[in-house]
Amino acid sequence: MNEQQDYFYGVIPVEVQMTPERKEQILEQYPAPALPDEGATFEIDQEEKGNSVSLRLLLNEVKVQTTKTNNQFLKMTFSNNAGNINAKMWDNQGAVEKNLPLLEAHSIFDVDAVVDEFRGFKSLTVKRLEPCEGEIDPFSYLPYTKQSIEDYTIEIFSYIDELSSPYREFSLAVIDQFWQEFSISPAAKGFHHNYLGGLLKHTVGLMRFARYILKQEENSFQAVMKLIQIVEKAYKQELWANYEATDKWVRPVWQDAIDHLYQMLAGMMEHKEEVPNYNALLTSILLHDIGKMLEYDFAGKKYDAFSFLYPTADKSSLQSRKQTGITMDELGLMVGHIPYGTLILTKMVEQTGTPFTIEDIHLLSHCILCHHGLPEWGASVKPQTIEGYLIHIVDYLDSRYENTETVK
């Protein structure tokens, strides 16, 4: 198998080299999740006002509010895999008192409602709801990547397969330990890759950038300059589109990006005598956001990463959680995905007995800790190596670029 496509405005060649036998082995061992049937998704914007609908939905939020005439009603946000759906239920015949305890106790509901519209925004007026029990399939109730998870699976393995020992064996062990949770987790709640499969897609995106800079171009510094020049061109096009638009100003994706990227390139040039460790960079990319498996919660999450890090802890509170849409995990928020990443790295090194040197482990840790670039952006330390600057640059580029894509 030798497939090629392009990424980042058609500039970065995406080369996936793999034998049919290896591809078959990977997809058998790491199958993609079953997705809902095509056309099975309810999209409220496609419905006419006044339509009656019967749906199974995930409850994200519920509040008791009061009308101008001092009557109570329930304001709710549901979701399915097309996105969020706003809803309300009037307090007819004690509906608030009757349904609020159910809404506070359960996550999935069968909902009978009527489509409403106000100032161009559609919502549901709920007539009846009934809680549903059983295991939650997150792909039925949360947005997920519309690109092929199978293709991303093959691609990430193709990049890991080309690493040298012991980085290859270590990275494969990480994937084997966390694949089920890693492959479906979101990479964010709101800004970028904020859907199921987002973490996998984002990780592959960083690897594409890193391979372009260190393998597909002769000079890594010139490669970064080329990428910044592409950003400059894209930013100019965004500004001109805003100038020609007749409606409101839309904040450009690349606003404030160019100066920051040049600042990081200047820092990277202070290490121009160093030879970048490609194996360490790709392994760090695999681990850079892996802590998001613990930082975010969502309906259907299994909490395997918590069990891995804290096997002796009493985790009964996790099993009794009421899961909703993609949210910040109440425990994960206290630590954050960057420290979690180094905790996972350390424990995986110990568990696998990987013969890294002390310098190797510190370089991997450093890349995880500095990948946000600046302390005010959440970095634990500033980049201090060429690999540290590179992981921040490729993370910055991929997270911004994702917001330019029409199919995510």
Go through the domains of the chain in sequence order and give each one's CATH number. Answer: 2-35+144-404 (no CATH), 44-139 (2.40.50.140)
Please say if the pLDDT value at position 39 is more than 80. Answer: no
How many angstroms separate the CA atoms of 268 and 214, rounded?
A: 14
Please say if the pLDDT value at position 1 is more than 60. Answer: no
How many angstroms separate the CA atoms of 193 and 257, rounded?
A: 19
**Residue at token pair 């890193």:** 210
pLDDT at 308: 98
Residue pair 56/50 in contact (Cβ under 8 Å)? The answer is no
| Mean local confidence (pLDDT), 41-66 | 93
| Mean local confidence (pLDDT), 245-271 | 94
| Mean local confidence (pLDDT), 149-157 | 97
pTM: 0.94
pLDDT at 3: 59
Please say if the pLDDT value at position 36 is more than 90. Answer: no
Give first-to-last CA distance, the chain, whole Å: 24
**Residue at token pair 């499969």:** 197
Residue pair 217/226 in contact (Cβ under 8 Å)? The answer is yes
State how beta strands 108-118 and 52-66 pair: antiparallel
pLDDT at 119: 86
Please say if the pLDDT value at position 106 is more than 60. Answer: yes
- 128 forms beta bridges with 112
pLDDT at 34: 84
Could you give the percent of the chain with pLDDT greater than 90? 87
Q: Please choose, from the candidates 311, 290, 314, 293, the residue with its C-alpha nearest in 3D space to the C-alpha of residue 303.
A: 293
Average pLDDT, rounded, for the chain? 94
Length of the chain, please?
A: 408
How many angstroms separate the CA atoms of 229 and 112, rounded?
A: 53
Half-sphere exposure of 146 (CA within 13 A, CB side): 10
Phi and psi at 403, nearest 5°, equal -80, 0
pLDDT at 4: 62
How many angstroms separate the CA atoms of 266 and 145, rounded?
A: 35
**Residue 355: is the preceding peptide bond cis (ω within 30°)?**
no
Tens digit of each residue's pLDDT (9 = 90 or more) over 283-324 = 999 999 999 999 999 999 999 999 999 999 999 999 888 999
- pLDDT band per the 50, 70, 90 thresholds, residue 2: low
**H or E element that contains 78:** strand 72-80
Q: How many CB atoms lie within 10 A of CB 302?
A: 12
- pLDDT band per the 50, 70, 90 thresholds, residue 245: confident
